[in-house]
Amino acid sequence: MPVVEPPSQRAPRRSAPSVAVLPVTGLGEVRDGDDLAAQLAEALKPLAPQDGDVLCVSTKIVSKALGLRVHPHQRDEAIRSAAVRTVARRLHTHQVTSVVQIPSGPVMAAAGVDSSNAPDGPLLLPEDPDACARALRDHLVGALGVELGVLLTDTSSRIWRVGVGDIALGAAGVAALQDLRGGTDADGRPLTVTVRNLADELSAAADLVKGKSSGVPAALVRGVPAATAADVPARELSRTGPEDWFRRPSLESVWEALGLRAEQEPIARMSPEPAPERIARAVAVASVARCGQQGYQATARVRTRADGDPSIVVEAAGDSTEALIDAATLAERVRTALGAESLAAALPEVSVEIFVPDPQEDLT
């Protein structure tokens, strides 16, 4: 039977903190060359900042003050230039969206290049948001005489989650990660795995009083225990390198394993795609020769059988050993590519058949 501790032996319940999220108003439109730190210091005075407060600032106004703006026609090139690597490309209506990793670590759609609330042209993200947050904090601490933290925030989506929310791109003077391991929960049980991403939680909370349509680009979060007890840069929040479990989506991962270069990869649609389209793409992907190969002495094509089901025929270019090996190789590549297309949504059963021409037929 389970042992129940008497009330006197249980860990005392900790009272929940009272958290306030205060909009920072009166900033006005930020323009290229503005002293944003001075403007923020002035706008914060009515809120009487306190030690331990965290100021969450939309990265967009930092970009505006720094003049990180491009002409709309330069948007695609700006995204390519900002990308450390391309994770995926997806077609939505007639627009191709590139999901890329940016220099500071996060993976973001369009490298975070944003045209909303940017009438003078799309805005780029700062290359080092942590450094920008540090510069803002240094000025604000000096001007206001309080030890506050600063987060630069931006909107992002999450894998396995619908919708978007604000995350921290830059951090200074904030315990961006809180390691709760070694502590206990409300019932006194030990915490062994919990590392809280406090920076993203603060960023999301701040967005409740600011955002794209409110005209309020900053908010002060007050009352979060130990929010400024450490100084962890936002760069530490991104899983990169060997720790990145999702470097590429399933389709692109298989295409890369099949030897396709980035410029050879097709662009899948965001919306669900019909089976014939996915089957045709699998054949096209499988038919791309690996780097250094001249091509296959075989071809693959889709056909419809008498019963209406799709099938794929791989035809060798002849009966030579090389052609037979290429036909078998191409057939296996087709099966692999079909398997990738089936991961998100099942395909109908597709047979893959190898056809070798009869050399005697050429003599008749």
The rounded percent of the chain whose pLDDT value lies above 70 is 89
Q: Which residues contact 284 (CB under 8 A, 6 or more apart)?
A: 266
pLDDT in tens, 82-116: 999 999 999 988 899 999 999 999 999 999 998 77
The rounded percent of the chain whose pLDDT value lies above 90 is: 73
Whether 141 and 47 share a structural domain: yes
Among residues 199, 216, 240, the one where a domain terminates is 240
Last residue of a domain, one of 207, 240, 273: 240
The neighbouring-strand residues paired with 157 are 164
Give the domain CATH number at 157.
Answer: 3.30.1330.100
Q: Give me 21's structure tokens.
A: 């999220």
Q: Which of 155, 152, 158 is nearest to 126 (CA)?
A: 152
Res 358 pLDDT > 70:
yes
Residues for the chain: how many in total? 364
Task: Please determine, for residue 1, whether its predicted confidence score (pLDDT) is greater than 50.
Answer: no
Residue found by looking up tokens 């955002």 in the block: 211
HSE at residue 46, side-chain half, CA atoms within 13 A, is: 10
Q: Same domain for 72 and 164?
A: yes
Strand partners, 90: 97, 268
State the Cα–Cα distance between residues 19 and 224, nearest whole angstrom.
6
DSSP three-state, residue 38: helix
Number of H helices, E strands in the chain: 8, 14
Q: What is the pTM of this model?
A: 0.83
Note the pLDDT of residue 160: 86
Question: How far apart (Å, rounded) are the C-alpha atoms in residues 166 and 163?
Answer: 11
310 within domain boundaries: yes
| Cβ partners under 8 Å of residue 29, min gap 6 | none
Domain tally, the chain: 2
Say whether pLDDT at 349 is over 70: yes
Looking at residue 2, its pLDDT comes to 43
How far is the C-alpha of 106 from the C-alpha of 104, rounded, in Å? 6
Statement to judge: residues 231 and 256 lie in one domain:
no
